[in-house]
Amino acid sequence: AEGVNSLEKIILREPRGSSAEVYLYGGHVTSWKNEHGEELLFVSSKSFFKPPKPIRGGIPLCFPQFSNLGPLDSHGFARNKFWSIDIDPPALPTTSSSKAYVDLILKPSEEDMKIWPHSYEFRLRVALGPGGDLMLTSRIRNTNCDGKSFTFTFAYHTYFSVSVISEVRVEGLETLDYLDNLQKRERFTEQGDAITFEGPVDKIYLSTPTKIAILDHEKKRTFVVRKDGLPDAVVWNPWDKKAKAMADFGDDEYKYMLCVEAAAIEKPITLKPAANSIPRESSRVVEDPLLWLL
Ligand code: BG6
């Protein structure tokens, strides 16, 4: 861990040269480079890197609320909290082939529980695969003592770096239903063609396939998002007007980013309190009381 902007971050390096950076503030991935050293995530040059503001770019974690769909601040509080390194994480078989990983944990303080009255353990593993894949695994347990379940929405709010937005298309969301955040969250159905960008987009695609591709024609690069336990996918680009209105985002930066977010929004997730016994962890499948989000 090293201090930059007075915030601590962890750097992961994989033998073939890919790397990633994770800030304890927010449990926030801010960099993911391939083996040629090319940055694959977008972080705004105007980002504050100053608590309590979230970092603008990388992979903010939206928990326990996506956007303003509830009483909490936009996207919940996980992205504004200082996470800790999880020194004794339970085994995680899904990424055991990777040696370049870090385990973080977030638990609420008493102050936090005044804002959201639930006790939980949120474990995040950030891992680099041998091929340079970036893998995020979230495991959330309800540790309420009073037997109360809790309900939340969630997103990995990933900002991908793109050559220029006009050259990008997204495949895997054609013909799906979506809620349009720019039109009062009304429900529409996407047309049959791959998605391209000519203006602001802020859509929640519902029950998507587990694989979504972002094709960057100019860079001849394709990102593949794979997800499990996260049925929805948000696609967001603020475009010029909203970009100008955001204090932590450059006026022209919308051209060089696209958010494609693995999410659980339409059907919020309800988690029962964890049993006292150690939960079974042999399955990738979402199961109570331990929830896996990949
Ligand atoms: C997206 C939402 O996921 O995040 C947008 O769909 C929102 O509506 C955007 O504007 C950025 O949110 P924030 O809170 O980071 O400015």
Which ipTM was obtained for this model? 0.98
- Residue minimizing CA distance to atom 1 of ligand 1: 236
At residue 40, the pLDDT reads: 96
- Residue minimizing CA distance to atom 14 of ligand 1: 74
At residue 286, the pLDDT reads: 35
157 classed as catalytic: yes
Specify the ligand 1 atom closest to the Cα of 54.
15
Q: What confidence tens digit (pLDDT) does each residue in 276-289 have?
A: 433 444 333 333 34
Q: How far apart are CA 23 and CA 247, in angstroms?
A: 21
CB of 74 shorter than 6 A to ligand 1: yes
- What are the average pLDDT values for consecutive 10-residue runs of the chain, which has 294 residues? 70 95 98 95 97 97 96 97 92 69 96 96 92 92 92 97 97 98 97 95 97 94 93 98 98 98 95 62 39 61
**pTM > 0.90:** yes
Spacing, Cα 154 to ligand 1 middle (Å)? 13
At residue 294, the pLDDT reads: 59
At residue 196, the pLDDT reads: 98
Specify the ligand 1 atom closest to the Cα of 56.
15
CB of 157 shorter than 6 A to ligand 1: yes
Spacing, Cα 67 to ligand 1 middle (Å)? 6
CB of 67 shorter than 6 A to ligand 1: yes
Specify the ligand 1 atom closest to the Cα of 157.
3
CB of 202 shorter than 6 A to ligand 1: yes
Q: What confidence tens digit (pLDDT) does each residue in 216-275 have?
A: 999 999 999 999 999 999 999 999 999 999 999 999 999 999 999 999 999 999 999 976
Q: Residues 28, 75, 118, 157: which is the catalytic one?
A: 157
Domains and CATH numbers, the chain: 2-293 (2.70.98.10)
At residue 177, the pLDDT reads: 98
At residue 277, the pLDDT reads: 38
At residue 180, the pLDDT reads: 98
Q: Which residue has the tokens 């601040």?
A: 73
Q: Which of 236, 241, 244 to mutate to test the pocket of ligand 1 (most atoms within 8 A of CB)?
A: 236
Specify the ligand 1 atom closest to the Cα of 246.
16
Q: Which of 73, 157, 205 to mutate to test the pocket of ligand 1 (most atoms within 8 A of CB)?
A: 157
261 classed as catalytic: yes
CB of 283 shorter than 6 A to ligand 1: no
